[in-house]
């Protein structure tokens, strides 16, 4: 019986400067994209075993410059885009010497994504797509469901992306104090729900947000890079600007 190949992996706390903060992602390094032992069911099972908001898989693509196939899995499903796991993947490649370059390209379900290592500040810059938000004529039953899911919080605007719903509340404090009903969010016509509000006058931030995706095994995501692809689009139209300083709230114990 042939010995099974081992999988090298690292767990990285993305969007953080120290351990046990930010948003953890498991980064798994694969050698062969055609390994029959590692089909989609196997990848999903490993993601369920890690039980993190995202487990991602990196497979090198032979070429003239560093390029990798990148796939992201929650504990229950594969997703099209994930910011923090992409950041974690880039960190692993740049910090461990696996590539001899300050730029790497990822081939993903959302197209080609680029990460650059800015050596002066030792930071990583991600080039991510804009996720447009648009109007949807929700029926009264949908709006009632959203209100119930957010425990009666005052809703001032609702937009949608192809997969998620963006709900704007009346204030920064309303987002922070929100006690969502996860069972009701699971019933909403979306994969995930972004809840956001503009910052108070005089704040160093522009807006805050929280992100819930219980149907995908993520009750609340600590820091969601992909959600900000849509949040930035929404707030750019509202604030008439393109550069933002955003804050994602995490309140793990405020559920009903």
CATH number at residue 145: 3.10.310.10
Q: Name the β-bridge partners of 207.
A: 198, 246
Chain centre distance of CA 167:
17
| Domain boundary, last residue among 83, 98, 127 | 127
**Given 54, 105, 191, 220, which residue is catalytic?**
54
> Does residue 181 fall inside a structural domain?
yes
pLDDT of residue 37: 66
> Does residue 91 fall inside a structural domain?
yes
pLDDT of residue 1: 43
Question: Do residue 156 and residue 116 come from a single domain?
Answer: no
pLDDT of residue 24: 95
> Residue 218 is part of which domain span?
140-248
CA angle 42, 163, 67 (to 5 degrees): 50
Give the pLDDT of the chain (256 residues) as one tens digit per residue.
445 678 899 999 999 888 888 899 999 999 865 555 689 999 999 999 999 999 999 999 998 899 999 999 999 999 999 999 999 999 999 999 999 999 999 999 999 999 999 988 889 999 999 999 999 888 788 889 999 999 999 999 999 999 999 999 999 999 999 999 999 999 999 999 999 999 988 999 999 999 999 999 999 998 899 999 999 999 999 999 999 999 998 765 556 5
d(C-alpha 171, C-alpha 149), whole Å: 17
| Domain boundary, last residue among 96, 127, 158 | 127
Question: Do residue 118 and residue 191 come from a single domain?
Answer: no
> Does residue 152 fall inside a structural domain?
yes
> Does residue 125 have an active-site annotation?
no
Question: Do residue 117 and residue 183 come from a single domain?
Answer: no
> Does residue 132 fall inside a structural domain?
no
Question: Do residue 57 and residue 16 come from a single domain?
Answer: yes
pLDDT of residue 35: 57
Question: Do residue 240 and residue 153 come from a single domain?
Answer: yes
Total count of domains within the chain = 2
DSSP code for 130: -
Question: Do residue 190 and residue 95 come from a single domain?
Answer: no
> Does residue 256 fall inside a structural domain?
no
- In what order do the strands lie in the sheet containing 164-169? 155-160, 164-169, 192-198, 207-212, 246-248
> Does residue 97 fall inside a structural domain?
yes
> Does residue 115 fall inside a structural domain?
yes
Question: Do residue 108 and residue 160 come from a single domain?
Answer: no
Question: Do residue 14 and residue 80 come from a single domain?
Answer: yes
> Does residue 199 fall inside a structural domain?
yes
pLDDT of residue 133: 96
Question: Do residue 59 and residue 147 come from a single domain?
Answer: no
Q: In sequence order, what are the residues at sequence separation of 6 or more whose Cβ sits closer than 8 angstroms to the Cβ of residue 132?
A: 161, 230, 233
Question: Do residue 123 and residue 12 come from a single domain?
Answer: yes
Question: Do residue 109 and residue 20 come from a single domain?
Answer: yes
């Amino acid at each position: 019986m042939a010995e099974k190949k081992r999988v090298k992996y690292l767990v990285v706390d993305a969007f953080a400067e120290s351990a046990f903060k930010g948003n953890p992602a498991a980064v798994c390094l694969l050698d062969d994209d055609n390994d029959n032992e590692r089909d989609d069911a196997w990848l999903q099972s490993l993601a369920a075993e890690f039980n993190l908001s995202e487990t991602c898989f990196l497979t090198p693509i032979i070429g003239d410059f560093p390029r990798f196939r990148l796939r992201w899995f929650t504990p229950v499903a594969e997703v099209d885009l994930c910011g923090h796991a992409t950041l974690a993947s880039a960190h692993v490649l740049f910090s461990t010497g696996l590539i001899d370059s300050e730029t790497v390209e990822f081939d993903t379900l959302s197209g080609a994504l680029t990460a650059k290592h800015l050596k002066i500040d030792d930071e990583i810059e991600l080039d991510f797509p804009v996720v447009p938000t648009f109007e949807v004529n929700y029926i009264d039953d949908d709006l009632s469901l959203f209100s119930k899911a957010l425990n009666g919080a005052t809703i001032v605007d609702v937009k949608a992306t192809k997969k998620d719903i963006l709900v704007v509340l009346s204030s920064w404090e309303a987002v922070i104090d929100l006690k969502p009903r996860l069972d009701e969010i699971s019933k909403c016509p979306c994969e995930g729900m972004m809840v956001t509000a503009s910052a108070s006058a005089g704040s160093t931030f522009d807006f805050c947000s929280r992100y819930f995706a219980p149907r995908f095994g993520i009750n609340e995501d600590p820091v969601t890079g992909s959600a900000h692809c849509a949040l930035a689009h929404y707030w750019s139209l509202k604030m008439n600007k393109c550069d933002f300083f955003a804050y994602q709230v995490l309140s793990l114990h405020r559920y009903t």
